[in-house]
Structure 1
Amino acid sequence: MKITVRRSGGLAALTQIWTVEAVTIDDKRRWMPIVEACPWDNADARSAANQPDRFMYAIRAGQRRATLPEKAVTGPWQVLVENAKTEGQESRRR
């Protein structure tokens, strides 16, 4: 399973991407509970309206997709994002 967290926006308008490849059985056992804890069906990017200079997060895990404003990255989303940042391969784009 491939997990990608893409953070864009903010004052500098930089995009950072963290990618995790959960390939082994141990990797999948570790990441699946984190991914499954996130409320994918309730992710709503519309709550980002009127929040200039804030980060937006586009999160992908296998076939699941979510786009969240910075303030919505809490609870299980925060766990997923922070783990991806810590353990993932990072790249930047302008």
Structure 2
Amino acid sequence: MKITVQRSGGIAAMTRIWSVDAVSADEKDRWVPIVEACPWDEAKNQAREVNEPDRFMYSIRAGQRRATLPDRAVTGPWQELVECAKAEGSESRGQLGSRRR
């Protein structure tokens, strides 16, 4: 299972991406419960919220699941998933995003 957490926005409008490839049985045993604990169906409603200027937005993918969340919604199981991906995943940076005024 590939897990990707992309954080975009913020004052600098930079994108950062953390990726984890959970391919071994041990890795799947570690990551599947974290992924399963997240309320993926509820995240669909979060994506409809208005993006706030200079705030982070998170795009999270885990296998076939997708969620887009504002920074304030990254709590509980989402926060655990994001923090684990940041700590254990490989990091890359995206290009500078365009800022709307």
TM-score tier after normalising by the smaller chain length: over 0.9
Query: Which of 39, 44, 48 is the matching residue for 1:46?
Result: 48
Report how many residues are paired. Answer: 93
Return the TM-score normalized by structure 2.
0.90
Q: Is the 8 A contact 2:51 2:70 kept in 1?
A: no
> Per-residue deviation at 1:90?
0.1
Spell out structure 1 runs of 4+ moving beyond 2 A.
none
What 5-or-longer segments of structure 2 have no aligned partner? Answer: 96-101
For the pair shown, the structure with the greater C-alpha radius of gyration is: 2
User: Equivalent residue of 2:48, what SS?
Assistant: helix
- Root mean square deviation of aligned Cα: 0.8
% identity of equivalent residues = 73
- The corresponding residue for 2:26 is 26
Pairing 1:90–2:91 present? yes
- The corresponding residue for 1:68 is 69
What 5-or-longer segments of structure 1 have no aligned partner? Answer: none
- More strand, by proportion: 1
